[in-house]
Structure 1
Amino acid sequence: MPGLIISPRARIFHGHEWVYASEIKKAFGNPQPGDVITLKDFRDRPLGTGIYNPASQIVARRFSRRRQDLDLDFFTRRIQQSLNLRKETEGLDETLARIVWSESDGIPGLIVDRYGDHLCVQTTTLAMDMRKDIIRDALVAILNPKSITLRNDSPSRKAEGMEQYIELIHGENPGAFIVEANGLQYEIDLIDGQKTGLYLDQLQAHAEVAKMAKGLRVLDCFTNQGGFALACAKAGAAKVTAVDISASACASARKNAELNNLDIEVIEANVFDFLKAAKPEYDLIILDPPSFTKNKKTLNDAMRGYKEIHLRALKLLDKGGFLSTFCCSHHASRELFLENLASASVDAKKALRLVAEHSQRPDHPIMVTLPETSYLKGFTSQLIATR
């Protein structure tokens, strides 16, 4: 088997699973893009098996600490293990969940979201993309789904030198269908929809924030399909306003409100502009934007963006009001994001009391030695009298 000799002090010696070009001492056996390769240390001792793509900054990703191949048996075992983990997680419905999440489940570059009888799959590494037929066969054998949609339109594929596309690889196109989460119904379309179904990682946070919404005037910014807005309306909010710049997202939010017989106001607008012009008439404001940064180079610009929406939101809250704010970029650490919120409160001359902390749903497991798997963080704070 071809492979790589890893230089001393590389992150893989500290438990990480990625190998960057700068950490390679030399290659042997002429490995080709997408190959399964062996990894060795500088003393020729085995470090495990990985996948190879010299077109990516992450040249190799380890998926096993022993010799292993990416065959049907491998995928069947790993997918079944990840499914069992979700089944054993208390309070998690494995029929509406991310049942495979890349490195966190030992299959780097494979994401599988389950929506009842339908699966939405992403292959974000070349090795997984080359083995999509084997992956399909394993999923059919384990879950017998009615359809499998390969939703490979993620920009992250460019980093692996791959094209973006959407393809049905099993069954028939289900079209738009209804799923239920937190007692709410949502219409999703895995092929023609704007996103890959729901933001499954935020379903837990929807319920957590909604617990505070009864009797409050709620503003849900970057609402997408109305997740927070609908949860708050169902929980008995006095009034709910949802804002998103996307016309299709707003249409989805209105459709979902209609499905659930809930009354929410949906406004198509740029959230930054909306917050600047809005009147201070809200008791709970939710900020759940898409990632403002995909890399370290733009992190400072992203943090300025977060601070701006924090400042504008805080000015719209009266004493006793709540601000729930979220960041979905692993490049912005929990500490950095909390510091950003604190800095905004100082500039706004507002005192905040932290009342809740939020993270990604358990179907997006976090690996201790892979900080990149811990990406979603959120804080709910309450405005108190200025001291």
Structure 2
Amino acid sequence: MSVLTLKLKPREERRLRAGHLWVYSNEIDAGADFRNIEPGALCRVLDSRDKPLGLGYVNPRTLLAVRLLSGNVDVTIDREWFARRVAGALALRERIYGEPYYRLIYGEADGLPGLVVDRYGDVLVVQITTAGMERLKAPLIEALQEVLQPRGILLRNENAARELEGLAQDNEIIGEVPDPIEIREEGLRYTLSLAGGQKTGFFFDQRDNRSRLARYVRGRSVLDVFSYVGAWALRALHDGAASATCLDSSSTALDAAQASAALNGLTIETIRDDALAGMKALRAAGRHFDVVIVDPPALIKRRKDFEAGIEHYAALNRAALQLLAADGILVSCSCSHHLGADDLQRILLREARHSGRRLRLLEQGAQGPDHPVHPAIPETRYLKGFFCSATAE
């Protein structure tokens, strides 16, 4: 694959020298020909004095025009190069986890921008989100097969990022991918549909936060809002909760939650409804819970959605507080990068005061170490969660 050369405007190279991996289109010193570059082409990036900064791939149709793969402009991006990156990511995860269920590749944080790989034992789920990584798919898949020798690989390529990059929305199976598949986490078994589930199938990023539940749930009633396949609820029951209720709008997800409960000899209640409507109905029925977990999908995907998203988070936490017992525990999460931890904390304080609750922050959670943070890219730090005591005044 041929490699282009792009030069940055004067003074624009400072971010890359500081370890950043992105180049924006307005930072590139290029003429009209830049727009004619084929999306995904490999490129060397030079500073304004022709000193090399790195090798990456380019998409002239997007604001984030270049993503760097390496600081070495002479490296060859082939199967061997990918295999080294995959092996490094695997070694880190195997050092942390005793079983092969985790996020194996987390984009820029693992030196592979535009790529997510989740590992489900001998099955991999791959999500490619950029034109550059799409063009490199063949050596990438070869490297994954060489390093991990999976039984099957599922490419889950249905997401908004691919649409922005001008890529098709499609799925592909290589080898054998069973449906459903069974996985294990912290002594629990889950049955999942990798092809029919949300995103890449399971939310490994909340593993450590789910483990924090044990000290709060023993002998208590638990409500898991946006439960998906019931990972929070089942963890609570495993740790001694008296009862657990899953609230989700997807009947498929709730069926998976019931199936996973049966695998573990546990019993859960499931309610299919929109989160706000479901919590309103529970309140109308006079229901209360000792612990309420609110773990929604990203409600602020773009900066322009910030104000509307703030109000949505506020409404969800307000409804949750209204369902809490007098000495309840609220677990409130957000995976919206644009909503900072301070923003979520302010929402919780405001809604607690309006609900006549005295709020105390007990713990703050984040994404697990299989979702490492790149120190120069704030966007790789996205998950935040507060464990709160919310007592009646």
TM-score normalised by length of structure 2: 0.93
Please say if 1:119 is aligned against 2:121. no
Q: Does the 8 Å CA contact 1:83/1:94 hold for their aligned counterparts?
A: no
Q: Does the 8 Å CA contact 2:356/2:392 hold for their aligned counterparts?
A: no
SS at match of 2:30: strand
Please say if 1:333 is aligned against 2:340. yes
Structure 1 residue aligned with 2:309? 302
Structure 2 residue aligned with 1:45? 51
1:133 and 1:312 mapped to 2: Cα distance?
Answer: 48
Deviates more, 1:215-224 or 1:122-131: 122-131
1:25 and 1:218 mapped to 2: Cα distance?
Answer: 57
Structure 2 residue aligned with 1:319? 326
Q: Does the 8 Å CA contact 1:221/1:288 hold for their aligned counterparts?
A: yes
Q: Which runs of 5+ in 1 are unaligned?
A: none
1:9 Cα deviation (Å)? Answer: 4.2
Instruction: Provide Cα deviations, 1:224-254, integer angstroms capped at 9, x if missing partner.
Output: 0000011111111112111001111111111
1:319 Cα deviation (Å)? Answer: 3.0
Structure 2 residue aligned with 1:162? 167
Identical aligned residues as a percent: 37
1:31 Cα deviation (Å)? Answer: 4.2
SS at match of 2:276: helix
Q: Does the 8 Å CA contact 2:213/2:239 hold for their aligned counterparts?
A: no
Instruction: Provide Cα deviations, 1:330-351, integer angstroms capped at 9, x if missing partner.
Output: 1111221222212222222321
Q: 1:83 aligns with which of 72, 90, 93?
A: 90
Structure 2 residue aligned with 1:198? 202
TM-score normalised by length of structure 1: 0.94
Instruction: Provide Cα deviations, 1:237-287, integer angstroms capped at 9, x if missing partner.
Output: 112111001111111111111111111100001110122232351110000
**RMSD, aligned CA:** 1.8
Q: Does the 8 Å CA contact 1:3/1:31 hold for their aligned counterparts?
A: no
How many corresponding residue pairs? 383
Structure 2 residue aligned with 1:106? 111
Q: 1:57 aligns with which of 49, 52, 63?
A: 63
Structure 2 residue aligned with 1:34? 40
Q: 1:268 aligns with which of 264, 267, 272?
A: 272
1:385 and 1:349 mapped to 2: Cα distance?
Answer: 6
1:221-370 map, 5 Å: 221-277=225-281, 278=283, 279-370=286-377
Deviates more, 1:4-13 or 1:237-246: 4-13
Q: 1:4 aligns with which of 1, 6, 30?
A: 6
1:356 Cα deviation (Å)? Answer: 1.1
1:132-211 map, 5 Å: 132-169=137-174, 171-211=175-215
1:175 and 1:227 mapped to 2: Cα distance?
Answer: 19
Please say if 1:379 is aligned against 2:386. yes
SS at match of 1:285: strand
Letter in 2 for 1:108: P
Please say if 1:70 is aligned against 2:85. no
1:206 Cα deviation (Å)? Answer: 1.4
1:194 Cα deviation (Å)? Answer: 4.5
1:192 and 1:221 mapped to 2: Cα distance?
Answer: 20
SS at match of 2:56: strand
2:197 and 2:317 mapped to 1: Cα distance?
Answer: 30
Deviates more, 1:109-118 or 1:18-27: 18-27
- Runs of 4+ off more than 4 Å: 27-31
2:343 and 2:67 mapped to 1: Cα distance?
Answer: 27
Instruction: Provide Cα deviations, 1:342-381, integer angstroms capped at 9, x if missing partner.
Output: 2222222321111111111110001111100001110000
1:191 Cα deviation (Å)? Answer: 2.6
Q: Does the 8 Å CA contact 1:178/1:185 hold for their aligned counterparts?
A: yes
Deviates more, 1:57-66 or 1:25-34: 25-34
